[in-house]
Amino acid sequence: MSKPVLELVIAAPRGFCAGVDRAIRIVELAIEKHGAPVYVRHEIVHNKFVVDSLRAKGAVFVEELDEVPDDAPVVFSAHGVPKSVPKAAQDRGLSYLDATCPLVSKVHRQAERLVASGRHIVFIGHEGHPEVIGTFGQVPEGTMTLIEDVAHAEGFVPADPGNLAFLTQTTLSVDDTAAVVATLQRRFPAIEAPRGEDICYATSNRQAAVKAIASGVDAVLVIGAPNSSNSLRLVEVAEREGTRAALIQRATDLDWAFLDGVGALGITAGASAPELLVRELVDRLATRFEVIEREVETTRETIAFKLPRGLDAAA
């Protein structure tokens, strides 16, 4: 009996961004240079497959610096760390490499500049996310307030409403953030905006790409981790277009019932999910369906980030 046809509409760009690519390369090169084990504070990027692959090469993942032995090198994750972390590493004489994405570091430097100029920062982001913890850790306590949504922005009562600035996490929903920013600007017309976009190119490009395919398909699958902010946002963007959407980590997580009545399936992947996982999903789908693949590219990405000094020669 012939298999039913399933059209796959694959969003582009999807998957790895330049910051994730760089962070993974930093761990790989550190292992090459120093030998295993190389310690990594927090998941280098939020993807189990990536973490397991690096673990197999000799990376040891820990949550805090005090779990790192004195003589071992340590890498800080792409999400960024509070200033106290490199300081503690220096105090212990640890050899460390910082894999913070340069676009997160850019937000860190903006936060420092704003606080130095006397502004109170409103930071739009998700409580508890490592990037938020890292950014709060760039400035003295009490100089930054976290705002998570429009309701929060409506209720915010600053000490000095004429002396505010806002910054954002890099992996937020473009549409949700615009609504929060509009609320802040309506309530505090003098609030200073960031110099450029804080939501990074990879986050906005992946959201635009999934938006472009979502209304033309019956359902969307996003490959990514449940703790990956940008992957969760892709599910929300697809759902807002009126399409059923689900997040899966691997092809094996796919519940076939999700495809009931689906003739056209959209596929994308978060910025920390490798392309291999997309191919794995397509291969699994091909076991039950006659798959017809079509890629819809909304923009082409050419961004690449330099490696830290000392590792670039090893690349």
The DSSP line for 202-239 is HHHHHHHHHHHHHTTSSEEEEES-TT-HHHHHHHHHHH
Residue 177's contacts (CB-CB under 8 Å, 6 or more residues apart) are 124, 168, 199
User: Interface mask (CB under 6 A) for ligand SF4, residues 236-255, using x and -?
Assistant: --------------------
User: How far apart (Å, rounded) are the C-alpha atoms in residues 250 and 220?
Assistant: 14
**Set 131, 239, 290, 297: catalytic member:** 131
Q: Is 17 in the site for ligand SF4 (CB under 6 A)?
A: yes
User: How far apart (Å, rounded) are the C-alpha atoms in residues 245 and 170?
Assistant: 22
- Choose the binding region for ligand SF4 from 11-19, 34-42, 187-195, 289-297 (rule: CB under 6 A): 11-19
Please confirm, yes or no, whether 131 is among the known catalytic residues.
Answer: yes
Please state the separation of Cα 158 from the chain's center in Å. 29
Q: Which of 8, 10, 59, 101 binds ligand SF4 (CB under 6 A)?
A: 101
Contact 154, 187 (CB under 8 A): yes
Q: Which of residues 20-49 bind ligand SF4 (CB under 6 A)?
A: 20
Q: Is 202 in the site for ligand SF4 (CB under 6 A)?
A: yes
Contact 210, 239 (CB under 8 A): no
Q: Is 18 in the site for ligand SF4 (CB under 6 A)?
A: yes
- Choose the binding region for ligand SF4 from 119-127, 135-143, 198-206, 211-219 (rule: CB under 6 A): 198-206
* 235 versus 262: smaller Cβ distance to ligand SF4: 235
Q: Is 165 in the site for ligand SF4 (CB under 6 A)?
A: no
Q: Give the relative orientation of helices 229-240 and 201-214 as an angle to the nearest 10 degrees.
A: 30
Q: Is 228 in the site for ligand SF4 (CB under 6 A)?
A: no
- Choose the binding region for ligand SF4 from 66-74, 101-109, 190-198, 286-294 (rule: CB under 6 A): 101-109
Q: Which of 200, 247, 248, 273 binds ligand SF4 (CB under 6 A)?
A: 200
Give CA separation, 39 vs 52, 86, 104, 143, in Å: 13, 14, 21, 32
User: How far apart (Å, rounded) are the C-alpha atoms in residues 13 and 116?
Assistant: 37
Contact 105, 131 (CB under 8 A): no
Q: Is 134 in the site for ligand SF4 (CB under 6 A)?
A: no
User: How far apart (Å, rounded) are the C-alpha atoms in residues 117 and 187?
Assistant: 22
Measured from each CB, the residue nearest to ligand SF4 is 19
Which residue(s) pair with 164 in the sheet? 120
User: How far apart (Å, rounded) are the C-alpha atoms in residues 171 and 152?
Assistant: 19
Compute the least distance from the CB of residue 169 to ligand SF4, in Å.
9
User: How far apart (Å, rounded) are the C-alpha atoms in residues 187 and 241?
Assistant: 29
Number of alpha carbons in the 13 Å side-chain half-sphere of residue 56:
6
Compute the least distance from the CB of residue 185 to ligand SF4, in Å.
24
Q: Is 271 in the site for ligand SF4 (CB under 6 A)?
A: yes
Q: Is 107 in the site for ligand SF4 (CB under 6 A)?
A: no
- Choose the binding region for ligand SF4 from 81-89, 98-106, 137-145, 283-291 (rule: CB under 6 A): 98-106
* 67 versus 275: smaller Cβ distance to ligand SF4: 275
User: Interface mask (CB under 6 A) for ligand SF4, residues 76-95, using x and -?
Assistant: --x-----------------
Q: Contact positions toward ligand SF4, by CB under 6 A?
A: 17-20, 78, 101, 103-104, 170-171, 200, 202-203, 230, 271
Active site (catalytic) residues: 131
